Amino acid sequence: MRRVTKQGVLVLIVGLAAVLTPFLFRIWRANAERGGQQPAEPFRIAGNFYYVGATDAAAFLITGPEGHVVLDGGYPTTARLIMASIVKLGFDIKDVKVLLNSEPHPDHAGGLTVLQQASGAQLWASDASADSLASGGDDPDAVLPLRALMWIGVLGYPPPRVDHRFKDGDTIRVGPIALTAHVTGGHTRGCTSWSFPVRDGDRMLNVVSACDLGVLATSQYPEQGADRERSIRVLRGLPADIWVTCHARWWGRYRKFVASKTAKNPADPFIDPEGYRAYIDSAEAELRQGRMH
């Protein structure tokens, strides 16, 4: 056994501080954001595709004659905002048949349990996300202090019931609604981007809900670099007229919503293939420069 020297102890303390500082900052920020999740006006993006999330924690409703789909649940406290938005748009939470998720972090999966209890909907997840969701947000790739806070209930959320697991490229259907899953890991192993067509009047629009492509200092794994490379490649290959992400500020929710009120066709401001490319470009620059977010 190696002797622990004073210097060793010092290195350990400095190392722990280096790990803990960004992590404590994140908790503070997460709490700040949770408090800042203000109700947002729900709106139609295009066709049967609606925004039902909060000011930043995004959630989407895709409606159909045989039942609806909700993508993402926000924080545990966001669920009631999402449900109020669904009612406000004239739909019934009980008609939501499928719940989907982009990633199992608490700001996007925290509210799924409440939504599932209110709707009875079936939750579909990728393998890696399924394990994390079913444990209430535990992430095996997260640093130990973060996991410990999860285990004692400071972080994390009530675990939803994961009904089905899908593979990369599978299509989830509810009547005519068909969303294709793209497991685009990097931010988390099982992070899932979604692509689906939306009929808006007489035109068909391709929608992509893209994963967060950035890396957190508190959650890293050996294949992460390769996953990010692949995810960037996959997303570049998807045709996107309309694009969204799990954080509404990244795709300009408010700006586009305001513009849609005076647009000739209210869906037009959401058609933004340039913004989609810029999002992927900036994720690639972040990867090349070794930056985190």
| Residue 248: CB minimum distance to Zn ion, A | 14
Sheet containing strand 96-100, strands side by side: 43-46, 49-51, 60-62, 68-71, 96-100, 122-126, 164-166
Smaller CB distance to Zn ion: residue 85 or 132?
132
| Residue 134: CB minimum distance to Zn ion, A | 17
- Return d(Cα 182, Cα 32) in angstroms, integer: 31
- Return d(Cα 171, Cα 182) in angstroms, integer: 9
The Cα angle at residue 104 between residues 100 and 108, in degrees rounded to 5: 70
Smaller CB distance to Zn ion: residue 37 or 63?
37
Whose tokens are 């959401």? That residue is 270
| Residue 287: CB minimum distance to Zn ion, A | 16
| Residue 95: CB minimum distance to Zn ion, A | 29
Smaller CB distance to Zn ion: residue 91 or 221?
221
- Return d(Cα 135, Cα 125) in angstroms, integer: 13
Measured in whole angstroms, the distance separating CA 172 from the mean position of its chain's CA atoms is 17
Smaller CB distance to Zn ion: residue 105 or 228?
105
Smaller CB distance to Zn ion: residue 108 or 256?
108
Measured in whole angstroms, the distance separating CA 59 from the mean position of its chain's CA atoms is 8
Instruction: Summarize as ranges the residues that interact with Zn ion (CB under 5 A).
Output: 105
Token pair of 5 as six digits: 């020297």
| Residue 46: CB minimum distance to Zn ion, A | 26
For residues 135 and 155, is the Cβ–Cβ distance under 8 A?
no
Query: Strands 171-174 and 43-46, how do they pair?
Result: unpaired
The Cα angle at residue 199 between residues 196 and 202, in degrees rounded to 5: 150
| Residue 13: CB minimum distance to Zn ion, A | 29
- Residue least distant from Zn ion (Cβ): 105
For residues 106 and 132, is the Cβ–Cβ distance under 8 A?
no
DSSP 158: P
| Residue 261: CB minimum distance to Zn ion, A | 31
Smaller CB distance to Zn ion: residue 119 or 193?
193
Smaller CB distance to Zn ion: residue 67 or 214?
214
Q: Tell which phi-psi region holds residue 153, choosing left (phi > 0), alpha (psi between -120 and 50) or beta.
A: left
Smaller CB distance to Zn ion: residue 34 or 105?
105
| Residue 175: CB minimum distance to Zn ion, A | 31
